[in-house]
Amino acid sequence: MSSTTVVASADESHAAAPVNPRSRVILASLVGTTIEFYDFYVYATAAVLVFPHLFFPAGNETTALLASFAVFGAAMVARPLGAVFFGHLGDKKGRKITLVGALLTMGIATFLIGALPTFQTAGWFAPFLLVVLRLAQGFALGGEWSGAALVATENAPPGKRAVYGTFPQLGAPIGFIIANGLFLIIAALMPSSDPSRPSDAFLSWGWRIPFLFSAVMVIVGLWVRFSLVESKAFENTVKRGRVQKLPLAAAFRTHWRELILGTFYMLATYVLFYLMTTFSLSYGRAATTAALPGLGYDYRTFVLMMICGVVFFGIFTMVSGPWADRWGRRRTLIWITSAIALFGLSWVPMLSSGTAGVMAWLIIGFTLMGLTFGPMGALLPELFPANVRYTGSGISYNVSSILGAAVAPFIAVALWSYGGGSPFWVGVYLTAMALITLLALLLGKETRDIDIHH
């Protein structure tokens, strides 16, 4: 049965009595993704501040930064593999056990990064181990998001799927604030005399604390997720004998169009996401007289500015849910994606207008990020029936990470260099990706009123 042909009344009859209490659903979907995104942001911040100094040969700073971003992007390549592996488990064995496995994998990998030797002590073995653990992070995140989104949406009350779908999305801004806030506190306790470089103490051992601290957060997340019971949608699939032997093959055979559309629905979101986080941190801190000139802010000042912007990310992630439930996912995202395309063309005027302009750029960018990211928690799962939903939504979400996030920081630095330090071409790149997403949305259909329990 096609997931796009069933009316909302069936959805409401199934969702009237969710298996899990609503408070548990919200907490389980929010806590898990917060931990996962915390781990991811800890790496993203270290990729800019620490790894170019510690895990690659000294010499050309731009080359070291690009190498660090390349390792950062390697995780995106592993994410579709994680989506396939965990999606297979999630569609065959259930959502709960799969989410526990994804969280454990991410937590162990992040903790071990905090214990790695550096290039100075282990040579090329150090970046090799960093790549391996980074791939493990990406593999785990490939299975985390779709499971958390399914826990939220498959247990949502009638008419509030998009609202509930924003809770796993909130893990992104909350994880960002915790990760960068912790780095900020550590950097403040270990001040550097050179604003363009972290202190010796920070580079020696301070950077390891956020990675090691993830173990505490993982324990909390596991406690919450072990308290879950299986979703009604998966139970219905088992009772009706509709569990697929090979969910991946079934998804490609019967829902290939949805896989493609879902991938491009996420493209602009991913590009904006990583331009506003990883690239902006590099651009904001780059000295105005460097080979790649930037804004010249010190680390603490710019991260505080970013955290202010991320507050808007969180607020408008929550705002987007009621909008998407009221006006539909497709209509809401068409307007937001159009705004992202215009935002890409406004970079130079804002970034050349002093601190007020830079702050406006961060607030607008992160506001648009929240508005486009929030509805995805409901939209992508709604594209697929329950027996291939974990696999289908996970593949779309994570293949898009290769097309968008994996290459976004690398392309941004290349365009930044090509433009002689101007962000103009980086903004044009965002606009181009937004137009591709806009085309996909225009070709797609509304999913608000389907029954997701089949």
- Where residue 384 falls among pLDDT bands split at 50, 70, 90? very high
> Residue 389 and residue 255: Cα distance in Å, rounded?
10
What dihedral angle (degrees, nearest 10) is formed by the CA atoms of 122, 123, 129, 131? 160
Where does the pLDDT of residue 263 fall: very low under 50, low under 70, confident under 90, or very high at 90 and above?
very high
Mean pLDDT of all residues in the chain?
A: 86
Cα–Cα distance measured from residue 37 to residue 220, given in angstroms and rounded to the nearest whole number: 15
Which of the pair, 76 or 446, is modelled with greater confidence?
446
Which pLDDT value is given to residue 303?
87
Contact 169, 373 (CB under 8 A): yes
User: What pLDDT was estimated at residue 47?
Assistant: 76
**Mean pLDDT of the region 365-371:** 97
pTM (predicted TM-score): 0.83
Pick the closest to residue 232 from 155, 168, 161 (CA basis).
155
Q: Tell me: pLDDT of 132 over 50.
A: yes
Which range is least confidently modeled, 394-403, 425-434, 439-448?
394-403
What's residue 340's pLDDT?
98
| Residue 192, Cβ density class (10 Å: 0-12 exposed, 13-18 middle, ≥19 buried) | middle
Mean pLDDT of the region 429-445: 97
* Chain-centre distance for alpha carbon 150: 16
Of residues 33, 2, 3, 96, the one with CA closest to residue 379: 3
Higher pLDDT, 89 or 76: 89
Classify 117 in phi/psi space as left (phi over 0), alpha (psi -120 to 50) or beta: beta
Ranges 48-52, 102-106, 146-150, 438-442: which has the least confidence: 48-52
Instruction: Show Cβ contacts of residue 184 under 8 Å, excluding neighbours closer than 6 positions.
Output: 300, 303, 304, 307
Could you tell me if 393 and 381 are in contact, meaning their C-beta atoms sit under 8 angstroms apart?
A: yes
| Rounded Cα distance, 447 and 275, in Å | 29
Residue 334 is predicted with a pLDDT of: 98
pLDDT band with cut points at 50, 70 and 90 for residue 19: low
Lookup: tokens for 21: 């209490």
Q: What is the pLDDT of residues 25-80, one digit of tens each?
A: 888 888 878 887 887 778 777 877 788 778 877 666 666 666 776 776 677 778 88
CATH no. of 8-245+255-443: 1.20.1250.20
Residue 152: CB atoms within 10 Å: 28
Cα gap 365→191, rounded to integer Å? 30
Answer yes or no: is pLDDT of 3 > 70.
no
Q: What are phi and psi of 241, to 5 degrees?
A: 70, 30
Torsion of CA 194, 47, 410, 58, to 10 degrees: 60
**pLDDT at residue 21 in the model:** 78
Which pLDDT value is given to residue 15? 41
> What's the CA angle centered on 301, arms 73 and 167, to 5 degrees?
55
Confidence class for position 144, pLDDT limits 50, 70, 90: confident
Spatial separation of the C-alpha atoms in residues 104 and 11, rounded to whole Å: 33
How far is it, in rounded angstroms, from Cα 450 to Cα 84?
25
For residues 15 and 157, the answer to whether their CB atoms sit within 8 Å is yes
Q: Return the pLDDT at 7.
A: 39
pLDDT confidence of residue 1: 44
Looking at residue 45, its pLDDT comes to 78
* Of residues 73 and 139, more confidently modeled: 139
Task: Tell me: pLDDT of 12 over 60.
Answer: no
Judged against a pLDDT cut of 70, whether residue 162 lies above it is answered with yes
What percent of the chain is predicted at pLDDT more than 90? 41
Highest mean pLDDT among 40-44, 78-82, 339-343, 386-390: 339-343
pLDDT at residue 354 tops 60? yes
Distance separating alpha carbons of residues 292 and 204, to the nearest angstrom = 26
At 230 the pLDDT is 76
CA atoms within 13 A on the CB side of 399: 16
177 pLDDT exceeds 50?
A: yes
Burial of 25 (0-12, 13-18, 19+ CB in 10 A): buried
pLDDT of residue 235: 83
Is-contact 384 255, C-beta < 8 A?
A: yes
pLDDT at 60: 61
Question: What's the average model confidence in pLDDT over 408-425?
Answer: 86
Task: Name the band, by pLDDT with cuts 50, 70 and 90, for residue 196.
Answer: low
pLDDT (0 to 100) of residue 292: 75
d(CA 320, CA 25): 19
Residues 6+ apart with CB under 8 A from 314: 170, 173, 174, 177, 370
Three-state SS for the chain is CCCCCCCHHHHHHHHCCCCCCHHHHHHHHHHHHHHHHHHHHHHHHHHHHCHHHHCCCCCCHHHHHHHHHHHHHHHHHHHHHHHHHHHHHHHHCCHHHHHHHHHHHHHHHHHHHCCCCCHHHHCCHHHHHHHHHHHHHHHHHHHHHHHHHHHHHHCCCCCCHHHHHHHHHCHHHHHHHHHHHHHHHHHHHCCCCCCCCCCHHHHHHHCHHHHHHHHHHHHHHHHHHHCCCCCHHHHHHHHCCCCCCCHHHHHHHHCHHHHHHHHHHCHHHHHHHHHHHHHHHHHHHCCCCCCCCCCCCCHHHHHHHHHHHHHHHHHHHHHHHHHHHHHCHHHHHHHHHHHHHHHHCCHHHHHCCHHHHHHHHHHHHHHHHHHHHCCHHHHHHHCCCHHHHHHHHHHHHHHHHHHHHHCHHHHHHHHHHHCCCCCHHHHHHHHHHHHHHHHHHHHCCCCCCCCCCC
pLDDT of res. 221: 82
Q: Which of the four pLDDT bands, split at 50, 70 and 90, describes residue 329?
A: very high
Report d(CA 195, CA 5) in Å as an integer: 58
